[in-house]
Structure 1
Amino acid sequence: MHFSKKSLTEDGFTGFRPLDELDPMRIPQGPGVFVILRRGDFEPVFLSKSTAGTFKKKDPSLKREALEAEWVGDASVLYIGKASAGSQGNRGLRKQIQEFLDYGRGRPTVVWDARLIWQLRDAMDLTIAWKELPPSELNAAEAAYHASFVAAHGRLPYANLVQARPRK
């Protein structure tokens, strides 16, 4: 997979909304995988302090050198994540993405994984897309997307710090 808007669309991703224009009520409630993408002309400007909230009283900010080291210059996808249904069945894409946005606005939350997104000056100009999946396929799909991205780019997307592995 090339991880372009075209290839993601062909693979079943929908949405493709800028974060600053996203209406959470238009996001499906079911489980699935989501991606954060940048436009072709997006140039990273790293903030010295993240706009994200704290998690367990930890500052999500990284040093500029660490952010630059994580940047994948030839990739449009900056993050690949998943949204499970949760143990009570009340989570899913809408709730996970809303928490991701709230986290970027400085609210404390449990969304620690994609924190590098919120150290980009123009993070709200990024685009989000999603793909609904049955719960039984979710972990394998996330792991497969990560592996495919690594195969294409030699490393994980910018804001993915841990590679997903399929669970048995």
Structure 2
Amino acid sequence: MAALWLPGERIVYIGKANLGANGKRHLRKRLDEFRKFGAGVPIGHSGGRRIWQLADQDELLVGWRVTDDADAANTKTRMLADFRAHYGRRPFANMRG
């Protein structure tokens, strides 16, 4: 696991939140699911699960970029590609991408 860590890098996970079919799945809902997963609640999504192994997980900050819902997946893909091009690997908690 230590081989995945980039010393000094501030970005540890790149995720996304979509509005969903009914338009009610937004960033707050996604972050709540993320928090619940970290607390051990089975939510059916495990993106970023390595974050919960960090000693300072309770000090991490969330940043976001607003984009139209149809472009959310493309934005995440581009951000991951840019990160990988710069560092040669994904952020610590991104297991795919």
TM-score, structure 1 length as denominator?
Answer: 0.55
Counterpart residue number, 1:120 = 54
In the TM superposition, what is the alpha-carbon distance from 1:69 to its structure 2 partner? 2.2
2:14 corresponds to 1:84: no
Give the aligned residue type for 1:73.
P
8 Å contact kept, 1:75–1:153: no
- Residues 10-45 of structure 1: per-residue CA shift (max 9 Å, x gap): xxxxxxxxxxxxxxxxxxxxxxxxxxxxxxxxxxxx
8 Å contact kept, 1:84–1:91: yes
2:2 corresponds to 1:68: yes
Q: Please tell me the root mean square deviation across aligned C-alpha atoms, in Å.
A: 1.2
Counterpart residue number, 1:161 = 95
In the TM superposition, what is the alpha-carbon distance from 1:77 to its structure 2 partner? 0.2
2:93 corresponds to 1:132: no
Distance in 1 (CA, whole Å) between partners of 2:56 and 2:70 is: 35
In the TM superposition, what is the alpha-carbon distance from 1:92 to its structure 2 partner? 1.4
Give the aligned residue type for 1:77.
I
Counterpart residue number, 1:3 = none
Alignment of 1:92-107 (within 5 A): 92-107=26-41
In the TM superposition, what is the alpha-carbon distance from 1:110 to its structure 2 partner? 2.1
Q: Identify unmatched segments of 5+ residues in structure 2.
A: none
Flag as ranges the 4+ runs of structure 1 deviating above 4 A.
none
In the TM superposition, what is the alpha-carbon distance from 1:76 to its structure 2 partner? 1.1
- Match of 2:63, SS state, is strand
Matching residue within 137, 143, 150 for 2:77:
143
Distance in 2 (CA, whole Å) between partners of 1:111 and 1:96 is: 10
Distance in 2 (CA, whole Å) between partners of 1:77 and 1:105 is: 22
Distance in 1 (CA, whole Å) between partners of 2:30 and 2:45 is: 8
Counterpart residue number, 1:108 = 42
Percent identity for Structure 1 against Structure 2: 35
Alignment of 1:12-27 (within 5 A): none
Q: Identify unmatched segments of 5+ residues in structure 1.
A: 1-66, 164-168
